[in-house]
Amino acid sequence: MATTSEELHTMIDQLPAQDQERILAYARELAQPYPPARSPLPPGTPPEVLLRFTVSPEVGEALAAAHEECERIDPDGWE
């Protein structure tokens, strides 16, 4: 029984040169390390840039209050 490598070699030898080139290109693509997962979303702002921004304590409190309000669940809101 032939190994996978031997069987591939036999089958590739039977193909036209153009198809052999396609297989070679595909094999090269498979041999590349996997790229990092790509998000369908546009890239965001890196954290180190965001850390440079500051807001007053009042604005921080207003943001925290708005965030708390968003987390509240109104059980009667879906009537």
List pLDDT tens digits, range 28-76.
988 988 777 777 767 788 888 888 888 899 998 999 999 888 877 777 7
Per-residue pLDDT at 18: 95
Evaluate if residue 78 carries a pLDDT over 70: no
Indicate the pTM of the whole model: 0.42
Q: What is the mean pLDDT of residues 5-22?
A: 94
Q: How far apart are CA 60 and CA 15, in angstroms?
A: 67
Q: How confident is the model at residue 22 (pLDDT cuts 50, 70, 90)?
A: very high
Residue 12 · residue 4 · CB < 8 Å: no
DSSP readout, the chain?
Answer: ---HHHHHHHHHHTS-HHHHHHHHHHHHHHHSPPPPPPPSSPP---HHHHTT----HHHHHHHHHHHHHHH---TTTT-
